[in-house]
Amino acid sequence: MNNKPLAERIRPEKLEDVFGQEHILGRGRILNRILKSGRITNMIFYGPPGVGKTTVANIIANMTNKRFYKLNATNASVKDVKNIIDELDTLFSVDGVLLYLDEIQNFNKKQQQSLLEFIETGKITLIASTTENPYHYIYKAILSRSTIFEFKLLNKSNIIDGLKRAIKIVESELKDKNIKIDEEALEYIANVSNGDLRKALNALEIAIFSTNLDERGIIHIDLNTAYDCTQKKILNFDKFGDNYYDILSAFQKSIRGSDPDAAIHYLARLIKAGDLISICRRLLVTASEDIGLAYPNAISIVKACVDTALQVGLPEARIPLAEATLLLSTAPKSNSVIKAIDAALYDIETKDIGDIPAYLKDAHYFGASKLGRGIGYKYPHDYDNNYIKQQYLPDNIKDVKYYIPGKNKLEEKIKSYINRLKGSEL
């Protein structure tokens, strides 16, 4: 019996046998075309674990005449790179070197720079893989000399195909034993693997070798066996990784898009990760950024929900957080607040805004009047409707409009009130 993990034993050796990634490996797609041209360039494979990055790198290695080296940046050092460089001009590497560097994000800038000279001369062709966003973690000079390919999570169908192929391989190894897996068990393993074929294969392998033969001499894997052999579903969530920001972004955008179901879904992901602080912060920001003056009380209610959540902690915190999420998702929307403040900040950073009108400056000190401070200021409460027309902005930007009321019930009332007060359009 082969002692290699099942995931290694079923690893495809041909491009056509790779599961998923049709967007780059399918017929006529970019990576497929590059590989079939025979001109292998520097590449960076970016995507979650268990989706085929290493498999494709191995297939590429078998397609070239280059000497193949494989390093994992988690435990490799500059010395390991130097040992490869020392062989570049030997008979062993007459056609150059293909280096597969797994988890390149774990190499610091100096370690990545040690490869740069040889990548530029073509003596080393680099294929690097990473689970983190390469634009955040990989040295820009290497990025500029490489083509980035994003590998995506496998879908359920891909996972099931991989599991069925694995079963055939194990049956051929066991020879006189058959494996029967119920369809619901197969689907369950595929569902909880979260797009990671390696994880699904590990669960299948445990199921096969922990299940006794039934009275017919068959290894029968039912749903209960699948439950026992799979770990609790682990979501792709790393608080310091790219996926962390993706989920937070999707959470706020779902609220902004008035989709309560999607918003609750992403909230559930964040709750599963136990990230209370990020949830609370995003809810408070969203209350002002996306709801704002369309429903000004929203921020008060959200603040109460957030305070409650932080006080009671998880798992109970999920309830007030869900309340806040659903409130914001179903509330009227307005971005007039963020547009106003961002426009004002932009002017401050980019324009000569000029001085504050003298009559608006502080006049509560001896000698202020001699400097012209406060002279000519009209106190609005001395006039009808507590309003009197006067200039408040500096001369250089006196006619600018920062606040544009949103098209919602409350801000339409605000607009109407201001127009009546000023006798002009807002």
Beta carbons within 8 Å of 333's beta carbon, 6+ residues apart: 256, 258, 290, 291, 294, 406, 408
**145-169 average pLDDT score:** 91
Q: Which amino acid is it at 257? A: G
Stretch among 60-74, 143-157, 246-260, 276-290 having the lowest mean pLDDT: 60-74
Confidence check: pLDDT of 425 > 80:
no
pLDDT reported for residue 240: 47
Please state, in angstroms and as integers, the Cα–Cα distance from residue 282 to each residue in 70, 242, 250, 255, 333, following that order.
42, 17, 11, 11, 16
Helix (H) or strand (E) segment spanning residue 45: strand 43-46
Q: Percent of the chain having pLDDT more than 70?
A: 94
Cβ-Cβ contacts under 8 Å for 256 (sequence gap 6 or more): 286, 290, 333
Give the highest mean pLDDT range of 109-123, 254-268, 364-378, 409-423.
Answer: 254-268
Query: Is 70 exceeded by the pLDDT of residue 235?
Result: no
Predicted confidence (pLDDT) at residue 255 exceeds the cutoff of 80: yes
Asked if residue 48 lies in contact with residue 196, where contact means CB atoms within 8 angstroms, the answer is: yes
What is the rounded average pLDDT of the residues 51-77?
Answer: 87
Residue-range domains of the chain with CATH = 21-150 (3.40.50.300), 156-229 (1.10.8.60), 242-330 (1.20.272.10), 356-422 (1.10.3710.10)
pLDDT band at 351 (very low <50, low <70, confident <90, very high): confident
> What would the pLDDT profile of 183-226 be if each residue is shown by its tens digit?
999 999 988 888 889 889 999 999 998 888 887 888 999 988 88
Question: Using 50, 70 and 90 to split pLDDT, how confident is the model at 137?
Answer: confident
What's the CA gap between 16 and 165, in Å, rounded?
14
Beta strand residue intervals within 196-337, DSSP E: 218-221
DSSP secondary structure string for all residues of 333-388: ---HHHHHHHHHHHHHHHS---PPPGGGS---STTTGGGTTTTT---GGGSGGG--
Evaluate if residue 283 carries a pLDDT over 90. yes
**Residue 69: which H helix or E strand, with range?**
strand 67-72
Alpha-carbon span 30 to 21, nearest angstrom:
11
- What mean pLDDT comes out for the span 50-78? 87
Question: What is the pLDDT, as a whole number, of residue 289?
Answer: 96
Q: What is the pTM of this model?
A: 0.63
Q: Alpha-carbon distance 167 to 183, whole Å? A: 13
| Residue 233: per-residue pLDDT | 58
The tokens for 249 are: 């972004």
CB of 13 within 8 A of CB of 62? Answer: yes
pLDDT digits (tens, 9 = 90+) for 10-26: 888 888 888 889 999 98
Two tokens, residue 392: 């408040």
